[in-house]
């Protein structure tokens, strides 16, 4: 029960931290950039039973300059901090359709580290997977704890009835 609770709290905390970092990126300075590469990447994985799973990722590259500087930088992140693979191919294709090569885009860049950038800030759904998974493990720990209490309760009731 304790291990399940710890796993749940750590997983949920990780999701909350990523979500907070994602939201903080909305306050980053913004500049205009240009998409230089936009393609779909596919990763095929097999588990120990031989079952295949396919996940997808939008492989992006974009050029941008920090406001007032001539030095051009290259960014690759759609979302800040997390670049998630997903089994939802259609979602990735729609992103590619919106961001073809040559498209002008708003680029959020991190103050103090302008090489860290992203195109979408504050809208990453990936942390919700961790938060939901963490809540599931916490709920399982509560269920296990309640089950342990119910066994103790029945022992007490059996002792009372036996007298």
| Per-residue pLDDT tens digits for 74-128 | 999 888 877 778 888 998 999 999 999 999 999 999 988 877 899 988 877 778 8
| pLDDT, position 152 | 62
What's the pLDDT tens digit per position in 119-163? Answer: 988 877 778 888 999 999 998 888 888 777 766 666 655 666 755
CATH topology of domain 29-120: OB fold (Dihydrolipoamide Acetyltransferase, E2P) (2.40.50)
| pLDDT, position 159 | 63
| pLDDT, position 111 | 87
- Residue among 107, 150, 148, 103 nearest 5 (CA): 148
d(CA 127, CA 99): 23
Contact predicate 122/26, CB 8 Å: yes
């Amino acid at each position: 029960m304790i291990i399940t609770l710890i796993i749940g709290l750590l997983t949920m905390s990780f999701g909350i931290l990523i979500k907070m970092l994602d939201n903080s990126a909305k306050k980053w300075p913004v500049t205009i950039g240009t998409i230089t590469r936009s393609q779909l990447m596919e990763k095929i994985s097999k588990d120990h039973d031989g079952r295949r799973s396919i996940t997808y990722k939008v492989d992006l590259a974009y050029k941008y300059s920090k406001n007032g500087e001539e030095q051009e930088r290259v960014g690759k992140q759609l979302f800040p901090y997390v670049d998630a693979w997903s089994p939802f191919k259609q979602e990735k294709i729609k992103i590619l359709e919106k961001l073809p090569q040559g498209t002008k885009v708003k680029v959020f860049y991190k103050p103090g580290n302008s090489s860290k950038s992203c195109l979408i800030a504050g809208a990453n759904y990936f942390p919700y997977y961790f938060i939901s998974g963490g809540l599931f493990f916490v709920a399982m720990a509560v269920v296990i704890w309640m089950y342990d209490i119910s066994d103790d309760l029945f022992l007490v009731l059996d002792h009372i009835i036996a007298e």
